[in-house]
Chain A
Amino acid sequence: MLYDVILIGGGVVGCATARELARYSLSVALLEKTEDICNGQSKANTAIVHGGYDAAPGSNKAKFNVRGNAMFERIAEELSVPFSRNGSLVVSFEESGIPALLALKQRGEANGVKGLSILGREALLAREPNLNPAAQAALDVPSGGIVCPYELTIAYAENAAQNGVTFFRDAPVTAVSRNADGTFLVSSPAGEFASRAVVNCAGVHSAELNNMVSEEKHSITARRGEYYIVDKAYRDAFHSTIFQLPTAMGKGVLIAPTVDGTILIGPTADDIPDKDDTRTTAEGLARVLSRAKLSWPGLPARAFITTYAGVRAHAETDDFILGEPADAPLFFNALGVESPGLSAAPALGEFLAQSVAERLGTAPNPAFDPIRPGIPKFRDMTDAERAEIIARDPEYAKIVCRCELVTEAEIRASIRRPVGARTVDGIKRRTRAGMGRCQAGFCLPRTLELLAEELAASPLSITKCGGESRYLESNLFSGKAGE
């Protein structure tokens, strides 16, 4: 079949664009390289909705960050995604940094960021008592926020699928070429796909795709960031997201409360040759800790529940490269979407979808439903709500993940939904099962069983994240039930 649009890459930009394209009467397919959507930089980042003061005025980063930021209340509401405008503080620990804070404020104002002000030491420490008392001043960014990046991406995908977008996972694109009639041929081990337009949102691999169809060559550097996650027990340690004012010593790391109550600490920024190398390193993690202590001297040594690394797509222009190359009509790029990519995603999705729709000349989709109901979360309910939902669905009374209070009902729903979970990591990102302080020590065996049951597969075949990432090697007894 000939699709109107093929999107390459199931990260937040791809999924947001898919959802925005569903507003039009277009046939749309999204191809994702790995076994699940939201598996690259969209799952491993700072989870911050930036204010937009940082990027150079006039840049795509500035424009789409500020526009995207303003869209978050609506998007979060329509897609049932947790979002909080907790505010950001850019802190200077030296008096000599105050002019730089003022410059950031001016830049933010030039970018159209509202409500910026400079907080003095006393006000700052009153607001964030755990902040290093050496702090001198901060840029207060009330529009800064936090969002769950995987829930956002998955919600976009579910809403897109609800509205008719087809998702193909385990579909790495190996070639993009043009047929004689000008349509695109997109090749993948999952099949050959034909389309009138292509949107390239392939993250760290997006330049490779661009270079298949255009002589306007680009290159993307993979920049790795390493992070720690702090246990929820410290959820009240900080309220706003704490940035360190960049100095000659480096960009600094941030202390970022999350919508789930944990705190992220990181990232580092190291260019790496292998674009999919999401290893953590002893040296990188040590750097995160030593820098984080500048903001949070009381950072408890035993507070961590996990570490991770994410790789961001840095373009040589230091900006998002958007739209059609001159020599590749109907091939739409979203290259170099690194930070503030998550913040910009709603605006990028809107822009890319509008650009495609305009060029293809299409009508609105009258059946488009912007509402994606979330999976009701047991952990967020009052006891009365819990009693009520259990009365309707007894599987809400079966708690699988003790740490995050995730029930069997939620896990089954995450598998059954459109673009549903097929792996343990997929369940984790859709429900938080296994993301708590025991890191799946207690719930893994049950999660494996539930996946096997729902997918009608042997538990031996269930993976963490596709490929060879199976958990179980063999059965100890022959004739085990369910095999």
Chain B
Amino acid sequence: MNMKTKRVDLLIIGGGPAGLAAACAAREAGVTNLLILEREDALGGILRQCIHNGFGLHTFQEELTGPEYAARYIARVQELGIPYECGAMVISLSPERRAVYVSRTEGIVAVEAGAVILAMGCRERPRGALGTPGWRCAGIFTAGTAQKLVNLEGRMPGKRVVILGSGDIGLIMARRMTFSGAKVLACVEIMPYSSGLKRNIVQCLDDYGIPLLFNHTVVDIHGRERLTGVTIAEVDGKKRPIPGTEQEIACDTLLLSVGLIPENELSAMAGVALSPATGGPVVDETLATNVPGIFSCGNVLHVHDLVDFVSAEAARAGEMAARFLSGEKTAGERIPLIAGNGVSALVPEVLSKRPEADVTFMFRPRAVYRNARIAVFRGGKQLAVKRARILAPGEMAEITVKQDAFCESEGELTVSVEEVGA
């Protein structure tokens, strides 16, 4: 049987916030033959189930819910006449930018694309990846799965809840489960700080009297069939449970908010180099991967704190893909960057020899830093410096280097953080 084959200038894999913003920007930059493929039944990605507000303060200067935020971009996609397919999942991608997708309406379709933007988002780390011992019973959900059940399907997974990990989805779900009639008994975080946003800790835990236990984790899971309780314990500096600190909490639900993993199986198939630091593709300042014509943005590139930042990054990916398609030379020789003291998940991780614009570096601080100085050095020369009152792993940090600065320097580039005192 002959497979249907399409040719497009730009293929955008994923119709969540990244894919939508990338598509709009590419269309506005003059790309007319483009296509968004979304595996779910509707555009919007994870925002569809994020019915809380707090989205859009940067992008729209107003506070929107997730579905409202997505709707603005979806409306724009429709206004611009950008073609999209829902229920269409890309199952392979080659370095030559040939994708194959399976669609509910079209069956198996091949797409030959001039450029590709990877915008597949991320998935949640499951219990199995943590190796939490105990029974493998019902009642253990990732926070996002519970969010989908509650917000999209109106199904309550349980009534007495413990949350392991303090990622943003876990914090948001602590509040949602409370609103929906459950008792959230505790949020347990193995680190001495939260990986979630400060505002979510205040608005989702503190406001409802939900205790947040730092340096604690779940060490045992009880219940042969349905969860009946968890044992939590305090951990030492090496994250090892401290004997004697165990306490059992009777609960029927355990929600996990223990990390997000960029979904890069397709990227790997296409030969895209992945970064152990971010879990996403290694990109340069144009969001180009090592494979010519393949760009990446959003949570598939690195996990963001705010959708507003995803949109901004994705719009740049759209513009850069448009430039690539117009034949402008993009990827030349690239130099690796060094994530220095206190810096992890640095994006971009490589840089063109001569960047054509100012470059903003984003990263996650490795720990909590007070009165910190963020600096970019090249060959001993300081290219940029910035002070921050507080830095924490839960909030992405950034620093911008002016284009001129790159021209006047040579050698290795390092981004680092240090405390400088008050």
- State the A residues within 8 Å of B (CB): 228-229, 233, 276, 278-282, 284-285, 302, 304-308, 383-384, 386-388, 390-391, 394, 397-399, 402, 405, 437-442, 444-445, 459-460, 463-477, 480
Contact = CB atoms under 8 A, between A and B. Distances in A.
Residue from the set A276, A278, A466, A471 with the largest chain B CB neighbour count within 10 Å: A471
Contacts of A480: 154
Interface residues of B, number: 53
Contacts of A233: 268
A441 B131 contact: no
Residue from the set B138, B149, B180 with the largest chain A CB neighbour count within 10 Å: B138
Contacts of A305: 126, 128-129
Nearest to B88: A397
B104 interface: yes
**8 closest residue pairs by CB, A with B:** A306-B128, A439-B126, A469-B225, A464-B138, A469-B138, A387-B108, A468-B225, A476-B154
Nearest to A378: B102
A346 B141 CA distance: 38
Contact of B150 (A280, A302, A383, A476): A476
Given A445-B149, A477-B154, A464 B126 contact: no
A392 B363 CA distance: 49
Given A459-B155, A476-B150, A387 B1 contact: yes
Contact of A387 (B3, B136, B156, B180): B3
A390 B108 contact: yes
B1 A282 contact: no
Interface string B275-286: 000000000000
B100 interface: yes
Interface of B: 1, 3, 39, 87, 89, 91-92, 100, 102-104, 107-108, 110, 123-124, 126-129, 131, 133-139, 141-142, 144-145, 148-150, 152-159, 180, 219-220, 224-226, 241, 252-253, 268
Contacts of B148: 445
A480 B155 CA distance: 10
Given A279-B133, A473-B253, 14 more contacts: A279-B135, A304-B129, A305-B126, A305-B128, A387-B1, A387-B3, A387-B107, A391-B1, A394-B104, A441-B123, A441-B126, A463-B138, A474-B155, A480-B154
B225 A285 contact: no
Nearest to A276: B224
Contacts of B226: 468-470
Contact of A383 (B100, B144, B154, B180): B100
A228 B132 CA distance: 11
A391 B1 CA distance: 10
A386 B134 contact: no
A445 B150 contact: no
A391 B107 contact: yes
B107 A397 contact: yes
Contacts of B91: 399, 405
A388 B1 contact: yes
Contact of B252 (A440, A473, A475): A473
